[in-house]
């Protein structure tokens, strides 16, 4: 017979089990309400509260005369709150036609933000009002989809200023983590939008809304007042849009190159053009992957800023560097003659040609600059030597950035003996490299902004100013901070040497290679250049300044694959100079075109005799 457990023992076991269960429940409650209180309170708040960021208006950008170049305008932004969406693939399929987006792009944007699932993910900016109305009227079909009146950037001159002003873009997850940005906020991505982003961006605001369990907005949250955004600062540039448009129009839609116009005394950039261009307004709203890939894959490189990143042989524009170094070293005077030019010269087993096959005969330094005789500067380069040439090239700034306040500037290349030995080997090069370097060819490379800054120093008594595009920053309260001109360096040339160089540059325009670009009302100086290009036709250079005795403007233009500097680049500089001096009243404005008169009686056009 099996022993049975006494009733009293069973009672104690049951009681013990109940007590243990109660203790477990109490322990769980204590754990949830004490130790996990913050976690579950946050979850409750996030389910109850909808946080809607309010982007601050970026500060407007104006030119030196106050003309509006870029500003924000009202626009609708559609966002998705990941925590309120259970079937993102289905939702993306419903939204894609309405937002004119690819489904995968919507899914990808939401997936990138899963770590912040309670924050709205901006999916499409600058959405049309009819599309917003559909989302409002059919909200039950789009769970987790919200919209708000936001703003987007507008660039009023579009392509004409794309590389200078740049464009804006959204902060991604990595940037938000590394730089404490809010994911989805707008920051400057290129140009001055990027350089002065912190001042232009302002401070974002936020709205706290109370929502029901189904996501219906109940109203503003009483215990968390909204924070209004603070607008960014106004940025005034040194750019003159009249000159900018004049320089831009010279290239048309087919030519590639760069143009820089500046005040040599202050370093103020008056026009900055890189061609070809793109429309920065594409980046202000929604840019599809195909649109971006089309731009990035364009063989003409419209996204590439040639003014600060393009490196080219300077061609004959570098001859004043060679001349200045030789004068400063006491190797020549203005009366120094070398062997006559007969269309070229033999050196070793190679014949080095002059641009003029007929030859220039025997010339002194000033005449050699005036006629841009290659043979004269072949011989001068040999006399100067690589060590001295590279020392002066680097002292003139050709191995460093100019300091221009646009991000992404690249450095040119002024080779020296160490570079040749490292690149070709100690005995695999010889002094013949100076024939090319002496005329601005070979391994010598410059950016257009470097060359412009160097020439600005030559015509400014050897004082090299730091180029800049900022004129002032003005806060929303009206406090204005002006930029003050800065000296970058001094050129390694005496005043006597500089006067000789300027005399040569003056002759180039008055009776030399740039004679066809003279302006009757204004004296000019300058230097043409034709740089050999291994990938196609020669590049066309011209650097000019005016007035010759008191320069107020300097222009540096390169036109890729265009031929001689005298026939292509020089007329570009002349056209912008004419506009500049027309504005100053020195050159008369052309009369407006005659329009036909309309007869009030019969509506037939008639012209005055």
221-263: pLDDT as tens digits? 666 777 888 999 999 999 999 999 999 999 999 999 999 999 9
CA distances from 339 to 361, 363, 421 (A): 8, 9, 30
- CA 406, 261, 200, 465 torsion: positive or negative? positive
Q: What pLDDT sits at residue 601?
A: 47
Q: Residue 469 class from Cβ within 10 Å (0-12 exposed, 13-18 middle, 19+ buried)?
A: buried
Q: What is the pLDDT of residues 197-214, one digit of tens each?
A: 999 999 888 777 666 555
pLDDT of amino acid 206: 78
pTM: 0.85
- Domain locations in the chain as residue ranges: 49-237, 243-583
pLDDT of res. 113? 64
pLDDT of residue 115: 57
Angstrom distance (rounded) from CA 64 to CA 262: 13
Beta bridge partners of 544: 526, 555
Give CA–CA dist 250/261, Å, rounded. 13
Letter string b/e over residues 7-41, b meaning 16 or more CB atoms within 10 A of that residue's CB: eeeeeeeeeeeeeeeeeeeeeeeeeeeeeeeeeee
Rounded Cα distance, 248 and 162, in Å? 11
For residue 597, what pLDDT is reported?
58
Instruction: Give the pLDDT confidence of 381-392 residue by residue, as tens digits.
Output: 999 999 999 999
Write the DSSP symbol of residue 265. T
Q: What is the 3-state secondary structure (H, E, C) of 359-421?
A: CCECCCHHHHHHHCCHHHHHHHHHHHCHHHHHHHHHHCCCCCCCCCCCCCCCCCECCCHHHHH
4 to 8, 13, 17, 176: CA distances (angstroms): 11, 14, 20, 70
End-to-end CA distance of the chain: 142
Could you give the angle at the alpha carbon of 450 between the alpha carbons of 303 and 307, nearest 5°?
20
Judge whether 309 and 409 are in contact, CB under 8 Å.
yes
Measured distance CA(324)–CA(477) in Å, rounded? 50
Active-site residue list: 316
In this predicted structure, what is the pLDDT of residue 353? Answer: 95
For 8, 13, 328, 426, the CA distances from 19, given in Å and listed in that order, are: 16, 10, 102, 92
Q: In Å, how far are 394, 588, 594, 595 from 591, measured between CA atoms?
A: 48, 9, 9, 12
As assigned by CATH, the class of the 243-583 domain is: alpha beta
Q: DSSP letter at 34? A: I
Listed as ranges, residues in the chain with pLDDT below 50 are: 1-2, 43, 600-609
Determine the topology of domain 49-237 in CATH. Penicillin-binding protein 2a (Domain 2) (3.90.1310)
Q: Are the folds of 49-237 and 243-583 the same?
A: no
Q: What is the pLDDT of residue 48?
A: 61
Q: Is 35 left (phi over 0), alpha (psi -120 to 50) or beta?
A: alpha
Q: Report d(CA 329, CA 549) in Å as an integer.
A: 26
């Amino acid at each position: 017979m099996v022993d049975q457990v006494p009733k009293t023992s069973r009672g104690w076991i049951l009681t013990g089990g109940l007590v243990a269960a109660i203790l477990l429940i109490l322990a769980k409650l204590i754990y949830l309400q004490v130790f996990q209180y913050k976690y579950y309170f946050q979850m409750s708040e996030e389910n109850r509260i909808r946080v809607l960021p309010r982007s601050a208006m970026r500060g407007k950008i104006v030119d030196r005369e106050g003309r509006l170049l870029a500003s924000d305008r009202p626009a609708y932004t559609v966002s998705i709150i990941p925590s309120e969406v259970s079937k993102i693939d289905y939702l993306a399929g419903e939204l894609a036609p309405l937002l004119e987006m690819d489904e995968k792009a919507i899914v990808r944007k939401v997936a990138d933000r899963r770590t912040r699932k309670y924050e709205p993910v901006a999916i499409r900016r600058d959405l049309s009002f009819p599309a917003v109305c559909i989302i409002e009227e059919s909200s039950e079909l789009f769970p987790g989809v919200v919209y708000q009146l936001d703003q987007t950037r507008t660039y009023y001159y579009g392509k004409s200023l794309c590389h200078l002003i740049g464009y804006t873009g959204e902060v991604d997850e990595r940037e938000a983590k590394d730089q404490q940005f809010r994911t989805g906020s707008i920051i400057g991505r290129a140009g001055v939008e990027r350089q002065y982003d912190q001042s232009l961006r302002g401070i974002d605001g936020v709205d706290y809304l109370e929502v029901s369990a189904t996501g219906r907005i109940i109203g503003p949250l009483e215990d968390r007042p909204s924070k209004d955004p603070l607008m960014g600062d106004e940025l005034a540039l040194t750019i003159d849009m009249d000159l900018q448009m004049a320089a831009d129009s010279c290239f048309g839609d087919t030519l590639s190159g760069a143009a820089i116009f500046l005040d040599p005394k202050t370093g103020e950039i008056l026009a900055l053009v890189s061609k070809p261009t793109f429309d920065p307004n594409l980046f202000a709203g929604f840019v599809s992957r195909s649109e971006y890939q089309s731009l990035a894959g364009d063989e003409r490189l419209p996204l590439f800023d040639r003014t600060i990143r393009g490196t080219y042989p300077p061609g004959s524009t570098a001859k004043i560097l060679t001349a200045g170094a030789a004068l400063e070293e006491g190797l020549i005077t203005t009366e120094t003659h070398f062997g006559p030019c007969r269309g070229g010269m033999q050196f070793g087993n190679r014949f080095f040609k002059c641009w003029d096959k007929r030859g220039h005969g025997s010339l002194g330094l000033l005449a050699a600059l005036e006629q841009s005789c290659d043979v004269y500067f072949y011989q001068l380069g040999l006399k100067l030597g690589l060590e001295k040439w590279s020392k002066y090239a680097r002292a003139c700034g050709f191995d460093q950035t100019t300091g221009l306040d646009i991000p992404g500037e690249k450095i040119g290349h002024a080779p020296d003996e160490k570079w040749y030995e490292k690149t070709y080997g100690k005995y695999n090069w010889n002094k013949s490299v100076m024939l090319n370097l002496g005329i601005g060819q070979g391994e010598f490379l410059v950016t257009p902004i470097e060359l412009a800054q160097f020439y600005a120093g030559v015509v400014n008594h050897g004082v090299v100013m730091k180029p800049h595009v900022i004129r002032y920053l003005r806060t929303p309260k009206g406090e204005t901070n002006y930029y003050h001109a800065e000296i970058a360096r001094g050129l390694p040339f005496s005043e006597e040497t500089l006067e000789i160089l300027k005399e040569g540059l003056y002759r180039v325009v008055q009776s030399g290679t740039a004679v066809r670009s003279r302006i009757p009302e204004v004296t000019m100086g300058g230097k043409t250049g034709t740089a050999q290009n291994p990938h196609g036709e020669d590049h066309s250079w011209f650097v000019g300044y005016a007035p010759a005795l008191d320069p107020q403007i300097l222009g540096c233009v390169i036109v890729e694959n265009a031929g001689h500097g005298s026939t292509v680049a020089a007329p570009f500089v002349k056209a912008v100079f004419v506009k500049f001096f027309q504005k100053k009243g020195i050159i008369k404005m052309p009369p407006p075109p005659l329009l036909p008169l309309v007869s009030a009686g019969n509506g037939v056009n008639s012209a005055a005799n």
